[in-house]
Structure 1
Amino acid sequence: MGDDSIEILNLQTGKEETVYTFGHYIRHMIADVRAKNAVPVLLSLTARNRWKSSRIERGSGQYGYWSYQLAWELDIAFIDVTNPMADLLEQMGPEKAAELYPKDHTHFATEGAHLHAQTIIAGLKGLRPGLESAWFSELGQQIEPREWAWLRLPFPADARKSSIFLVGDSTVRNGAGDGANGEWGWGDYLDEKLSTKSHNIVNRAVGGLSSRTFVTGGHWQRALNMMKAGDVVLLQFGHNDAAPLNDETRARGTIPGVGEEYEDIDNLLTGEAERVHSYGWYLRQMIGQAKARGITTIVCSPVPRKAWRDGLIQEATDSYPQWALQVARQSQSPFIDLYQLVSDKYNRLGRRQVEKLFADKHTHTSKSGAELNAEVVALQLKPLLAL
């Protein structure tokens, strides 16, 4: 990635050559593209047909993640090809996947090429701004966009390490995680506050989602597919779960509490029938599926909003912080009471100082607010994970 170089005598050309890093060559190509007023898009690697048990390799070395880092460094679009293709191949299974790679584990036949192309087109259609529809062929027009591609969600940087995954809403990762409108999530700064070299930090939180829509929108499954035994996942939901169960805009609410009750609806947003469960039910689904894979689950109560009552942050009673604790106890998962811990800090700071910690009226934190919340999380995580 850096500016390192070595001098070699190229055995193929017979000439002396200065060899640079992967990052150097990619930067050079991107500069050339921009010099022609064209738009560069970086991709992660195509999937290779290399399996370990029932799991397929997700990227060769760190080249995919280096491309992801370069996309951030150079402020260009990024499309993850590796993980969507790995998800698809794992669904197919080793035998059927092998039919796509008749020669070796790297080069695919026509059907494999089509599947990779469809993955890339779905990503292109999910960028913001995206390509005009006229750019796509009749086949391309039929491909559903990967609507979240513009978010540039991360994936494990180094497959050799264990990972700490974060799932949640915009208080964990706001928008594309780039500080738009001065709004940041605490997950953006957890890596800095933990300062660990033994774990990848993978912030898969998506703004605007509830525990329900994180599951029904496929975000949980995509994150789970990246996890392996020994990994850790932090779950923080609640801010959006109080929204309406059914409407034409987001349809993201959950039934209050942690019970087994449900409501059958005709979802006005998706046009499909759906069975809506409680907040606790969705958390238990995620926790159960993670634990079944040998993943440690840690439940967090939602961070507090900037809502004052009698000079103090408004206390929550019989609400999401208490329900998150109940689920943690039911599932025997460690619990981080972010609502109380952060509220205590806000109360000590006082109303005037806390104002600087928010970038909007009462929900989304500024950089300094996100850093404060991340420090609270890090202080709780270090003893839990022996970091």
Structure 2
Amino acid sequence: MQHFLAKLILALSFLSMTNGSWAEQTKSDWQPHTVFVAGDSTAASYNQPDHQGWAAVLDSFLDSSVVKVDNRARGGRSTRTFISEGLWQKLIDDVQTGDLVFIQFGHNDASKINDDSRARGTIPGLGDDSVNIHNLLTKQEETVYSFGHYIRKMVADVRAKNATPVLLSLTARNIWNNQGIERGSGQYGGWMYQLSWELDTAFIDVTNPVADTLEAMGMEQTAQLYTKDHTHFNGEGAQLHAQTIIAGLKGLRPTLDPQWYSAKGQQVAANDWTWLRQPFVNNAEIPSIFMVGDSTVRNGAGDGAGGQWGWGDFIGDKLNSKKVNLVNRAIGGLSSRTFITGGHWQRALSMMKPGDHVLIQFGHNDAAPLNDDSRARGTIKGVGEEQVDIKNLLTGLDESVHSYGWYLRKMIGDARARGIIPIICSPVPRKTWDEAGSQIVRAQDSYPQWAEQVARQSGSMFIDLHRLVADQYDSLGAQKVDALFADAHTHTSKEGAELSAGIVAQQLRWTLDL
């Protein structure tokens, strides 16, 4: 039921955070003859009791009369050896116009670059560096490149065939620590994510959704899926990973037409937020600053569509991002209430570890109706404990709706329970001038004051973005401020988002020594 609630809320609330029509964003442009898979042993076909790759069962989710799965994944290979052994060329030779090619590597790329057993490692990262070796295994001279170099080659080759590459983060490993299950081996998932932006490719995060499921199952049940070792799963584990990938595929834009899925595949609920390409923790060895909020923090897919940007996308330009991961999980169109009921808060929270910080900014959408058949996202005004029990007209489900302050307190409590430090931000101001046209209108007895009240009462750090940004607008004047907005009064342009980000960054430098 909760998943159904989240799905319905998101499907309609995304109307507000896209630029371009809903039909344009969701039309089905992909019509492949074949879905190819390039990967390692976590995707390869084995059919062993204790080991099965996810791509071996992917076809059970698709209608074989319309599209087939051609699984070329091979155990033990890295991006480098998949190419150097000719496996990639054989795959690309068979790719036709319109096909999809899933690319998932990383588990083996961290191996040694040169030895007499595998010689499969790649240079870590996305750089242009290379190293010339005499390969101890093949006895041949070889130039070894970075992980990014090999993925870039694969993407270029797929596009040269007028086909579509889809990059995937790693499968989950059954390795646990005090915070939960491991979320990716090294930084390969993060590097694949960065490449999806650099190369403008579709991306499906496999690691974190699977990790969420496994953590809910617990260590004992998870172990039943990984009976061989901590990396390779059995048939049930393969089904879990394949289902997660199908859910992600359904959440991309464009995507496959629903009729291309089998009856089993049609039952899989879409992860409707996949197209947003939300970031996640790249380097688990350093602390993280998370951001949660609405479109003023991250607009749409965070790509500047329609000239609209959120301030969270520019924090990295203002801080030493080598010292922290900056993870902007804000989603446009959502309120404090629907960010929680849609499951987004829990997904972000599951990625955090003790000592991390989370910036929380809501308010712009909390003033919407409590109950309607389009968004149903409003919260009760104020910070009290009152609640309203409704039959949600959007979801058809019973729901208890609380105050704005209640939802903020819940996030604060959830964060602290995990050793995470919350920082409350008042909502950035709208471009609304007073009658004289000399000052931005400050909200009174409203969300900025309520956010501060919750922060003070809970002893949380507070950044008064509403006041600080408004003060800056006043000093600049109406004409200059016009250039800081990409619409009438709510969503900032790149320049406007950078201004707000600079203010947030300054506050963080003072409090966190960044």
State if a TM-score over 0.5 links the two structures: yes
- CA drift of 1:53 comes to 3.0
1:317 aligns with one of 420, 444, 466: 444
1-structure distance, mates of 2:209, 2:227: 21
2:293 touches 2:330 (CA, 8 Å); kept in 1? yes
Is the 2:176–2:182 Cα contact (8 Å) retained in structure 1?
A: yes
How far 1:93 moved relative to its partner?
Answer: 0.9
**Which of 200, 218, 232 is the aligned partner of 1:107?**
232
- Alignment-derived partner of residue 493 in structure 2: 366
Structure 1 contact 54–93 (Cα < 8 Å) conserved: no
User: For 2:465 and 2:178, how far apart are their aligned partners in 1?
Assistant: 38
| Alignment match of 1:287 (pick from 408, 412, 418) | 412
The one-letter amino acid paired with 1:234 is L
* Paired residue type of 1:338: L
Question: Which residue pairs with 2:283 in the alignment?
Answer: 158
- State the distance in 2 between where 1:306 and 1:29 align: 46
- How far, CA to CA, are the matches of 1:86 and 1:358 in structure 2? 39
Q: Output aligned runs, 1:53-202, within 5 Å.
A: 53=178, 55-202=180-327
- The amino acid across from 1:380 in the alignment is Q
The residue that corresponds to 2:348 in the other structure is: 223
* TM-score normalised by the chain length of structure 2: 0.75
Task: Tell me the SS of whatever aligns to 1:242.
Answer: coil
Deviation, structure 1 residue 195: 2.6
CA positional deviation for 1:145: 0.1
Q: Deviations over 1:39-58 (max 9, x none)?
A: 11101000000111351100
2:179/2:353 contact within 8 Å kept: no
Shift of 1:120: 0.2
Q: For residues 488 and 379 of structure 2, what CA distance do their matches in structure 1 show?
A: 24
Indicate whether 1:40 and 2:40 are aligned. no
Instruction: Tell me which of 304, 308, 317 is aligned to 2:429.
Output: 304
- SS at 1:40's partner residue? strand
**Among 331, 354, 374, the residue aligned to 1:249:** 374
Name the residue aligned to 1:342.
Answer: 469
Which ranges of structure 2 fall in alignment gaps of 5 or more residues? Answer: 1-125
Match of 1:351 among 452, 472, 478: 478
In structure 2, how many angstroms separate the alpha carbons of the residues matched to 1:299 and 1:365?
Answer: 20
Residues 261-292 of structure 1: per-residue CA shift (max 9 Å, x gap): 00011111111111000000000000000001
User: How much does 1:197 deviate?
Assistant: 1.8
Answering whether residue 328 of structure 2 is matched by residue 328 of structure 1, we say no
Equivalents in 1 of 2:509, 2:179: separation in Å?
32
Secondary structure at 1:127's aligned position in 2?
coil
Provide the secondary structure at the position in 2 that maps to 1:119. helix
What is the identity, as a one-letter code, of the residue corresponding to 2:384? Answer: G
The one of 133, 154, 176 equivalent to 1:29 is 154
Measure how far apart 1:36 and its partner are.
1.2
**Where does residue 335 of structure 2 map in the other structure?**
210
Q: CA deviation at 1:167?
A: 0.3
TM (normalized to structure 1)? 0.99
Look up the match of 1:271: 396
User: What do the CA deviations read for 1:9-40 (whole angstroms, capped 9, x no partner)?
Assistant: 22221111111110011011111111111111
- Deviation (angstroms), 1:316: 1.2
Partners of 2:321 and 2:218 in 1: how far apart?
35
Whole-angstrom distance in 2 between the partners of 1:373 and 1:107: 45
Deviation, structure 1 residue 383: 1.2
Distance 1:359 1:287, change over 3 A: same
Runs of 4+ in 1 over 3 A off after TM superposition: none
Distance 2:136 2:217 in 1: 42
**Are 1:261 and 2:261 an aligned pair?**
no
Q: How many residues align?
A: 387
Q: CA deviation at 1:114?
A: 0.1
Range 8-17 or range 233-242, more displaced = 8-17
Return the index of the structure with the highest Cα Rg: 2
RMSD (Å), alpha carbons: 0.8
Q: Which moved more, 1:172-181 or 1:311-320?
A: 311-320
Q: For 2:445, what is the secondary structure of its paired residue?
A: coil
* Structure with larger RCO (C-alpha < 8 A, sep 6+): 2
CA–CA separation in structure 1 for the residues paired with 2:179 and 2:367:
38
Unaligned ranges ≥5, structure 1: none
Any idea what SS the aligned residue of 2:164 has? coil
Q: What do residues 154-196 of structure 1 show as CA deviations (whole Å, max 9, x unaligned)?
A: 0011000100000000000000000000000000100111133
Secondary structure at the residue paired with 1:353?
helix
Matched residue of 2:372: which SS? coil
